[in-house]
Every structure is written in structure tokens, then in C-alpha cells.
A = this chain, B = another copy of it.
Amino acid sequence: MNAPNTPYRPVLTDAARPATFQVRALDESGAPRETAIAGEHPLTLYIDKHELLTIMTLGAAPEALAIGYLRNQRLIERIEDVVSVQVVCVENEAALTTRHWLTDLEEKTAMRTKTTGCGQSTVFGELMDEIDAVRLPAGATLSQSTLYALLERVRGHDTIYKQAGAVHGCALATNNPVETSASEILYFVEDVGRHNAVDAIAGMMWLDRIEGGDKIFYTTGRLTSEMVIKAAQMEIPFLVSRSGLTQMGYEIAQKVGMTMIGRATGKHYLLFTGAERFRSDA
């Protein structure tokens, strides 16, 4: 039940799984060591009783992941069309129910299958077409001090990575062009797959009606074409990574006019694209 003045929110379970598990390993001296490893669970996604796919996930935000996946794959157009997301952990299933009972799902997924098949790829051709339509906010700027504030926030964030490794983290943070010495992390999601973490944040943004134009997207992962495309789809003008980037990520960022910063840690970074939006501290 939604109150009259709060935005519509589908009915969601809250089925987060424990993120880490303790196992015993032997170190190089043969001594036993209790060590944390990252969780990993199959999550089979059903939409209106249609089995769609199985995603391997850490399981920290399965409902947002299901919604964000469907958003980023362009299978659902509005959050208002999602009636409910029910995650049943025992069966590793997420069942998503839509308002209008998606009649064209077969058609949509058939087309997708035809162009991309299954497996390691995503809907590359379609996404590239869509990129042409992306318009990032023209006047958005990022100052060096805001970037440093964000990196400091990320550094201080309590993460599964610090405990167990084997996960990638993504964050959505504020970018205030007036108060440049601060950047607040709105969401921080870690997952065994980089794209799951991005999709989960896309789902949270939909649920909370958060726009991307005045935000910064941070990821520990590499800036490949898919990461840049997903940030562009969310209309986020600033993409920051602790890691490096690929050629296609670089080219797409240039094309859409996104400011892309790699190798960002502490007080170091490399500004790769969109320097016109970046303001160095005096």
C-alpha cells in the first residue's frame, strides 16, 4: 500500500542472503586458516510465470537486481508496471509480476535471442542503437574536490571485498556543483558479477525515483563497453573506476560525451574523456 504522496512502489520481498561464508584453507606453511569467501547463488528470474534466465549473484539485493536487470534490458519500461517481486531463497527464484501481463515478452525475447543468442553476450546491437538517443545533461560539471571526496567515502566504506574479495562494487553518489567538498554515497552494491551490481543500482534508482543527471557512478571494475552503456542509459554524466578501461568503453564515452575517469584511488586518477565537464581545483 502506497501513501498518496509517496511514489508507487511494487510489493517486494526482502530476501537478501548472507554475503560471506567462512571456510577453512591451508596456507603455504600448511597451517589452517579460517577465511571468508563471497557467497554465490543462482537466481532464476521469472516474469509473469515465464522463465527468463538464471543469474549468478552474491544475493545481497535480489529484488533490486531483478528489477534493474529488466530495466537495463529494456524489457520493462516503467517501474509502475511492476506489481511485485517475490524472491524465494530456498528455491533460488525471483518471480516478478507486471501490471499488464507482458503480452509481448515472447516477441521481445525472441528478437533478442535472434540477435545475440545466450551466454556471454548481452543485447549489444540494440544497446548501441539506443546509445545514439542518450542525452547527458549539457551543463553538468564535476570538480576535482568532489572526486576526492567521493574516493575518500569509498575508501572508508565497509565492504564485502575487504572481507572476502572476489566481488566488484558499484556506488551511486551525489555531485553538488556548489558544495564541492562533499559527495554522499546513496547506494553501494557489491556482487560476484560487475553487471549485477550495476543492474541492482538501476533497480534501486527506479524504485526510489532517483535521476542520474546530478550523480556520479563509481565502480571498482573495469570500464568496458557494457559498463559505459549502462551508465549512459541511466543518464549519469560521470563514471569513475579504480581500474582501467577498454577501447570500446573509451569510444562510447567519447561518443555520448561522458566524463570517464580511471585508475582512481586516493589522490591519483587519469581523466580519459569529457575533460570539458571537469573542473580542476585552483
A residues whose Cβ falls under 8 Å from a Cβ of B:
21, 23, 25-28, 30, 33, 35, 37-42, 45, 51-56, 69, 73, 109, 112-125, 144, 164-166, 192-193, 195-196, 222-226, 243-250, 262-263, 267-272, 275, 280
Contact = CB atoms under 8 A, between A and B. Distances in A.
A277 B114 CA distance: 45
| Majority secondary structure of chain A interface residues (helix, strand, loop or mixed) | mixed
B38 A121 contact: no
A270 B121 contact: no
Contact of A109 (B33, B39, B117, B268): B117
B116 A122 contact: no
A114 B243 CA distance: 35
Number of copies: 2
Given A41-B248, A280-B30, A166 B243 contact: yes
B244 A37 contact: yes
Contact of A165 (B23, B37, B113, B243): B243
A52 B116 CA distance: 6
B35 A270 contact: yes
B246 A37 contact: yes
17 contacts: A27-B271, A28-B144, A28-B268, A30-B280, A37-B272, A38-B246, A40-B224, A40-B248, A51-B115, A53-B121, A56-B225, A69-B120, A113-B113, A119-B123, A120-B196, A165-B222, A166-B244
A225 B53 contact: no
A113 B109 CA distance: 9
